[in-house]
Amino acid sequence: MAKKFEFNFNKLFIFFLIITGILIIYKFFINSTFVMSNYYSQLTDKWIKEVTINRNPRDVANLFCEDATLVATVSTKLRKGKQIEEYFNFFTSLPGIKVLNRKYNLSKINNNYFINTALITWYWEGLNEPLVVRMSFIFKNDCIFQLHASVLPEKPDELYAITNN
């Protein structure tokens, strides 16, 4: 005689609770930070591409928020608004500008802000040697809220003893 199928709502309910719990954990604790870090790495790469390959100052400036601030590598002036595009008129026109190396360190500040503290090695014609630049990209949602860049200073001799490079 065939066994009669019995539907067990309690087991089904427990199964759905377990699956829901797994999805919540994945979304908020695993996937969220990884996906967002990847997103902001790609946004930083897009900024580099606009500067070094497309070399369009307006497209570079469009990656910035309306209320953004720029403290640029080869300038001492704090720039906002239209001044950001004006700076990139200069920077994107540097002959042979390219990135030789980049290292990103991304951190989530909160749901709306991420920071990428990066070391980027730049080169353009006329430089005696590549410039290693510390760059801090602060992203607000989908745009660059603040970008600060400064050339990496030479290490004092005392630091060589405690560093690997």
pLDDT tens-digit profile, the chain (165 residues): 566 666 677 777 787 778 877 776 666 555 456 667 789 999 999 999 999 999 999 999 999 999 999 998 767 789 999 999 999 999 999 999 999 999 999 999 988 999 999 999 999 999 999 999 999 999 999 999 999 998 877 766 666 667 665
Please, what CATH class does the domain formed by 11-160 belong to? alpha beta
Count, in order, helices (H) and strands (E) of the chain: 5, 7
Dihedral of CA 120/123/124/128: which sign?
positive
Q: Where are the domains of the chain?
A: 11-160
Classify residue 88 by burial, with Cβ atoms within 10 Å: 0-12, 13-18, 19+.
buried
64-71 and 131-140: which strand pairing? unpaired
The predicted model scores a pTM of 0.75
pLDDT of residue 34: 61
